[in-house]
Homo-oligomer: A and B are copies of this chain.
């Protein structure tokens, strides 16, 4: 039993006092900002005070100590709950002045909790359901670390506070099904069961028996009065001992304590008003001015930090004397070493020599076979498309409820849950998650992919079947707008490699990114090796490069990505052979990287000749690269169901079309050279 498992209570100050401190800080901050959500912090103040006062191990002086408990405020609109606690237990970046600057420019107290913005925020929340689904990943990572290093180095809980919104969102289903299946016994969800959502009573839109629902998913589920500290403590205690993940339904009143508005949905998303707050001070016997907490209450909260500090120091001692220390620190620090890059360089040289022709999804698997051998940090998975995404390698044994030593997660048919779980694994630390689905089903994972980008997490999305090239499955499975959607997302690298060499290069880049997630858009169909030129240099890192230069001045430049680079090369060959026209081919595996190059390189690469962009997707975004005189060959609408080769012809994405368009563009109407 570690120290945090002892139930300690403060002697002089009641948990009611501690909770009231949260309540008034939340009311005051929202009132000052005239913006925000007081209802939830007030409603959950009692339960969360008990959670922190008696259970949570956390040390504000070392916020990212690896074996801390994770606390996830899934109902992120209740951010003042978190900020109030962070102030009270003494996070250095959360003085009272920050609470008074709630939701103001440059403050630490953003409207919703943002990872990396204020210390100790474990994950960005706000889009409902993301927190609970991300927590599943954290709890998985905890079990994986424990399986590797034992409970003396890894033994912590993942606590979640979730609202009705979190539990209504579809992602919650994916999350709790996966958590129940994997028996994530150290995941504990406190549900703010307040019977209120924004439109009014929850009975306007749901009749769900949540306890029965969670039990159906293999969870332990309890219901308690969320304003009864001992009942809450007893439930948490039981949950911590359960062999299953746990739901604790805390029956609460939203805006608990408010003089006249307690229980009303009006407390949810707006300031209560000076008058109501004054009346509430009266009612709760809180004579203090705004943004003031009496010393003894502050001190009771600081005991949480002191307890956490002691636990942290004891843990450090165990770590320092552990024989696994070095390996542990390499893992938690995500130190890959130089092996991955070195072996991928060798891999590229070998396949360049062999001119290996494979689908880029297969190239990805071949690269992963090397990567997963060179580092143990990578954790694979797929949303039930393992044999299509080719995300499994010989090193990645499945992770199961009984065995977390494996390196592969069968995420099930749950793209959104997978993406959020990957975020959680990355946030926990210790691993680099990658997961697969079809590119078109990035739609289903959008909410969590956006958070990968917003949080800047090293997560890799392996998105195969990346165009009409998947063929017969038809328009529901053929991405058309998805590259644009992903490229439009800030801080997300979207890679679309053209052959096995670029695929290995893109994997190498993806794994070296510390604060940017990656998408690998990969073909179903086989693609020839196009990078015939020798050289070890990773050219994809510049985002775009001249794959095929002209003899002398360029007549035209063909821009393409992925499976269409082959078409561009064929068009260039045709133009030279049949018309004596010189076309350069620029492969553009990553627009984001190209955009980051200096202007000289960009201009040199794109050239001043007319440009044709070729991509089996929509045009949106391409005008930037092809310029006003340029031309686009790609999709104008949705795809169709037929074999891939016929589709390319049907939609005119062919070397013949590209060559004809080049002739048209440069005003070349008869045979012979223009110049």
Contacts and interface: CB of A to CB of B under 8 A. Distances in A.
Interface of A: 33, 35-36, 76, 103-107, 110-112, 114, 124-128, 164-165, 168-174, 177-178, 180-181, 197-199, 204-210, 212-213, 215-218, 382, 384-388, 398, 410-414, 416-417, 440-441, 443-444, 446-447, 450-451, 453-454, 471-477, 480-481, 484-485, 487-491, 618-621, 623-624, 627-629, 635-638, 640-643, 646-647, 650
B199 A386 contact: yes
A417 to B, nearest CB: 7
Identify the interface centre among A181, A450, A637, A641: most chain B CB within 10 Å of its CB.
A641
Given A168-B413, A490-B637, A208 B217 contact: yes
Given A103-B642, A207-B180, A618-B488, A476 B164 contact: no
A480 B398 CA distance: 37
Contacts of A169: 170, 174, 413-414, 444
Given A33-B472, A127-B441, A180-B208, A112 B410 contact: no
Contacts of A643: 35, 103-105
Contact of A212 (B216, B382, B447): B216
B181 A205 contact: yes
A640 B618 CA distance: 30
A480 B170 CA distance: 23
A658 to B, nearest CB: 20
A210 B491 CA distance: 39
Given A440-B127, A476-B76, A484-B620, A207 B218 contact: yes
Given A110-B474, A170-B171, A638-B490, A411 B621 contact: no
A105 B640 contact: yes
Give 5 closest A-B pairs by Cβ, nearest first.
A170-B170, A205-B412, A173-B173, A126-B476, A481-B488
Contacts of A36: 472
A199 B400 CA distance: 14
A454 to B, nearest CB: 6
Nearest to A104: B642
A169 B170 CA distance: 8
Given A111-B473, A443-B447, A178 B198 contact: no
B476 A481 contact: no
Contacts of A487: 620
A208 B485 CA distance: 33
A351 to B, nearest CB: 28
Contacts of A218: 207-209
A412 B611 CA distance: 49
Contact of A413 (B164, B177, B636, B646): B164
Given A387-B199, A491-B638, A168 B414 contact: yes
A646 to B, nearest CB: 5
A64 to B, nearest CB: 22
Contacts of A447: 441, 443-444
Contacts of A171: 170
A74 to B, nearest CB: 12
A96 B377 CA distance: 54
Contacts of A480: 488-490
Contacts of A638: 453-454, 490-491
Contacts of A173: 170, 172-173
Contacts of A212: 212, 215-216
B473 A126 contact: yes
Nearest to A126: B476
Contacts of A646: 105
A618 B491 CA distance: 12
A413 B480 CA distance: 28
A413 B110 contact: no
A216 B169 CA distance: 16
Contacts of A650: 105
Identify the interface centre among A33, A388, A488: most chain B CB within 10 Å of its CB.
A488
Nearest to A637: B490
Contacts of A489: 480-481
Contacts of A181: 205-208
Contacts of A623: 621, 623-624
A624 B213 CA distance: 50
B472 A111 contact: yes
A246 B446 CA distance: 31
A605 to B, nearest CB: 16
A484 B488 contact: yes
A551 to B, nearest CB: 27
Nearest to A210: B216
A476 B627 CA distance: 33
A624 B622 CA distance: 8
A427 to B, nearest CB: 15
